[in-house]
Amino acid sequence: MTPTLRDATVADAGLLVTIGTETFTDTFGHLYHPDDLAAFLAKFTVAAWEEELSDPRFHVVLAMAGDDAVGYAKLGPPSLPFEPTGKPIELRQFYLRRQAQGTGLAATLMEHMLAKARATGADELFLSVFIDNHRARRFYERYGFERVGTYAFMVGNHRDEDDVMRVAL
């Protein structure tokens, strides 16, 4: 079945918690002490998602394979430590479940999010990526993202180094 994209609604808050928890744990869970991972994941609640999904500054898109959500991406107001040169927006999350990776869905989702970012009036898009997530960094570089700095990404009490990347829209 060909995946489709649709805007997430407040009713999708629980689903987004599930996908985010699953994909983060599958990709990075082995790097952290269980207490640090649990503290990090505890921030992603239905209530927090409902708040963002009700806020017009956020744009969340679900990737659907039939009735199954296989990923999502979220744009929101800037939160990363960077020096914007224009009107920025941030790609805050970009997650695909394992079964959707390598299918071309990531490209479809990224192109959609770039168009959505442009439609907000933003002229630059920022994101962060774990420095050792080489596959993701190569993917973002294919879309013109360039490293503009680093910052400390905290998972519980564990400090990771993330690259901050930017692309002009």
Average pLDDT in the 2-27 region?
94
Is the pLDDT reported for residue 85 higher than 90? no
Q: Do 21 and 44 contact (CB within 8 A), yes or no?
A: yes
Global pTM reads 0.92
> Predicted confidence band at 36 (pLDDT cuts at 50, 70, 90)?
very high
Instruction: Say what angle helices 13-28 and 34-41 make with each other, to 10 degrees.
Output: 150
- Residue 83 confidence (pLDDT): 81
Q: Do 132 and 157 contact (CB within 8 A), yes or no?
A: no
Average pLDDT, the chain: 94
Average pLDDT in the 124-141 region?
96
Instruction: Provide the 3-class DSSP secondary structure of residue 132.
Output: coil
Average pLDDT in the 125-145 region?
96
DSSP letters for 61-87: EEEEETTEEEEEEEEES--SS---SSS
What is the distance between the alpha carbons of residues 47 and 86, in angstroms, rounded to a whole number? Answer: 32
In sequence order, what are the residues at sequence separation of 6 or more whose Cβ sits closer than 8 angstroms to the Cβ of residue 135? none
Look up tokens 């708040």; give the residue.
51
- Residue 81 confidence (pLDDT): 86
> Predicted confidence band at 104 (pLDDT cuts at 50, 70, 90)?
confident
How is residue 130 written in tokens?
């774990």
Q: Do 143 and 125 contact (CB within 8 A), yes or no?
A: no
Average pLDDT in the 115-131 region?
97
Read off the pLDDT of residues 18-35 as tens digits, 9 standing for 90 and up: 999 999 999 999 999 999
Is 3 or 67 the better-scoring residue by pLDDT?
Answer: 67
What is the distance between the alpha carbons of residues 108 and 116, in angstroms, rounded to a whole number? Answer: 12
How is residue 69 written in tokens?
């959500």
Question: Terminal CA-to-CA distance of the chain, rounded, Å?
Answer: 31
Instruction: Provide the 3-class DSSP secondary structure of residue 148.
Output: strand
> Predicted confidence band at 67 (pLDDT cuts at 50, 70, 90)?
confident
> Predicted confidence band at 1 (pLDDT cuts at 50, 70, 90)?
low
Average pLDDT in the 58-85 region?
92
Could you give all domains of the chain from N- to C-terminal order, each with its CATH number? 4-168 (3.40.630.30)
